[in-house]
Copies of this chain bind each other. A is one copy, B any other.
Amino acid sequence: MNEMNIVKFPSREAWAGILRRPGGNAADLEKTCEAIFEEVKRDGDAAVRKYTWHFDRAHLERLDAREEEFEEAGRSLDPALKAAIRLARENIEAFHRLQLPGRRERVDARGFRCWQEARPIERVGLYVPGGSAPLFSTVLMLAVPARLAGCEEITLCTPPGSDGTVHPAILWSARLCGVTRLFKIGGVQAIAALALGTGSVGRVDKIFGPGNAFVTAAKQRAATRGVAIDMPAGPSELMVVADETAVPAFVAADLLSQAEHGPDSQVFLLALDERLPALVAGEIERQSRGLPRREVIEKALARSACVVPRDREECLEMINCYAPEHLMLSVKNPGEWIPSVRHAGSVFLGNYSPESAGDYVSGTNHTLPTGGHARAHGGLGVESFMKTISFQEISPRGLDCLGPAIEVMAEREGLLAHRNAVRERAKHARP
């Protein structure tokens, strides 16, 4: 196993180079997306079937999963996994329930009141990637908040295997969490079907979920065509801050767990103890021996680095400069660091909060901002599946109070019909 690059006390000019994220080729992706979107728009399900054969090598007569497939999944799934998924669902639901927005109302004694009410987004599309493993945990992370929000139609798309099936853990989780319909469609064709609608797939209002660079480009295309999206997704990231109280074996395990996500994942160790890098490197070497995804890990570590910052302040600046998706604070008093963490997706405190707890069962959402998007975005939550409507009710007396200000402002903005909306009411006999 190659070792991670170790950088001691880098100068500030060197930061951008060290913290650089791997880039992609956006233009190529956009062309592919455009072609598939056009075809799905024109040919609907036929285009979806064509691309499902092309990319997933599956021939599908019917695109959605049948009731029997859900039932069979329930029978075939082993009880230990079911119990684990149930525990995860309970914790995710309990944590996300706290996010349900309340009504916010302001009553002004002068005769008017304004308030906001949240409403579910009616039709949502959830994307669950395929690839080397069945990501049933992502089903939980998307469907539980959608259900809590009260979304009416929850459509899930996930690519089928070449035998036309979907993994039973995905089917069972989808049913457990209240997914309305599940389609065996993946990639750009899935996003196009959700964005445009086909004979089988209903058009949705917002699309959620992770995916590869093609899926991300397809979501961005959907966004410019009037369908909302959750956030731009990219390769996963982890920054671990460790001091002398950290346990090298734990730090190494967490770095490895992030690195195994994909060859374009990126991990950083910010070591506040100069002895740590060598100790962690030794542990990485030892622990990675038995791992099946060793090749993926090796590639990810090649894009990663172990940095020794000068002090705590520099360390915090580096965190906020990178804005990591995941941040672990394996330090003495992690709580003291919190007020200074300005940009991060999800933060794990102390030695016994591994990132994989948040990936699966603690209750926080694992759909998080990558690529520096943590500067402007948080992770998914119940609010992501809702929107607010503003209301106001003004009494005749209230309008007497607000009217003169409306008139002068409207007049100065040159909008005289806006002003007249007040004047016409002032002329009228009061009820």
Which A residues are closer than 8 A to B by beta carbons? 26, 80-81, 83-85, 87-88, 91, 94-95, 98-99, 104-106, 108, 112, 114, 116-119, 121-122, 132-137, 169, 205-206, 220, 223-224, 226-228, 232, 247, 249-250, 252-254, 256-257, 259-261, 287-288, 290-293, 297, 334, 338, 341-365, 368-369, 371-379, 381, 383, 387-396, 398-399, 402, 404-406, 408-410, 412-425, 427-428, 431
Contacts of A358 in B (CB 8 A): 390, 392
CA distance A91 to B402 in the complex (A): 10
Q: Are B409 and A293 in contact (CB under 8 A)?
A: no
Q: Are B357 and A394 in contact (CB under 8 A)?
A: yes
- B417, A390: Cβ atoms under 8 Å? no
Contacting pair A292 B418 (CB below 8 A): no
Cross-chain contact B106 with A94 (CB below 8 angstroms): yes
With A114-B364, A353-B394, A428-B247 as given contacts, are A412 and B169 in contact (CB-CB < 8 Å)? yes
**B391 in contact with A347 (CB, 8 Å):** yes
A392/B106 in contact, CB under 8 A: no
> Which residue from chain B places its CB closest to the CB of A256 in the assembled complex?
B417
Contacts of A383 in B (CB 8 A): 383
A77 CB to nearest B CB, Å:
10
Q: Which residues of B contact A252 (CB under 8 A)?
A: 424
**Contact (A344, B381) CB under 8 Å given A83-B405, A98-B106:** no
Contact A389/B425 with A84-B408, A84-B409 known, Cβ cut-off 8 Å: no
Cβ-closest chain B residue relative to A227: B376
Residues of chain B contacted by A104 (CB below 8 angstroms): 98-99
Assess the A341–B393 pair: CB atoms within 8 A.
no
The verdict on A375 contacting B250 (CB below 8 Å), with A87-B405, A405-B88 known, is no
**What chain B residues lie within 8 Å of A424 (beta carbons)?**
249-250, 252-253, 287
Contacts of A136 in B (CB 8 A): 409, 412-413
Contact A260 B415 (CB under 8 A): yes
Question: Contacts A98-B106, A104-B99, A412-B169; is A364 near B390 (CB within 8 Å)?
Answer: yes
**A-B pairs, 7 with minimum CB distance:** A378-B388, A228-B376, A133-B414, A84-B405, A354-B421, A356-B418, A378-B387
A376 is contacted by which of B387, B406, B431 (Cβ under 8 Å)?
B387
Closest to A118 in B: B378
Contact for A226 among B169, B371, B389, CB less than 8 A: B371
Closest partner residue, chain B, to A254 (CB atom)? B421
Contacts of A342 in B (CB 8 A): 119, 122
Residues of B with C-beta under 8 A to A374: 387, 389
How far apart are the CA atoms of A383 and B118 in the complex, in Å? 13
Q: Decide: B377 and A387 in contact? CB cutoff 8 A.
A: yes
Q: Kindly state the separation between the CA atoms of A208 and B247 in the bound complex, as whole angstroms.
A: 44
Q: How far is the CA of A405 from the CA of B362 in the complex (A)?
A: 10
Closest Cβ–Cβ distance, residue A394 to chain B (whole Å) = 4
Across the interface, which residues of B come within 8 angstroms of A137, CB to CB? 409, 413
* Docked-complex contact A395 and B352, CB < 8 angstroms: yes
With the chains together, A341 CA to B418 CA distance in Å? 25
Q: How far is the CA of A108 from the CA of B93 in the complex (A)?
A: 13
A357, B392: Cβ atoms under 8 Å? yes
What would 12 A/B residue contacts be, using CB atoms closer than 8 Å? A112-B357, A118-B378, A228-B377, A253-B420, A253-B424, A334-B393, A350-B393, A354-B399, A354-B406, A360-B409, A360-B410, A360-B418
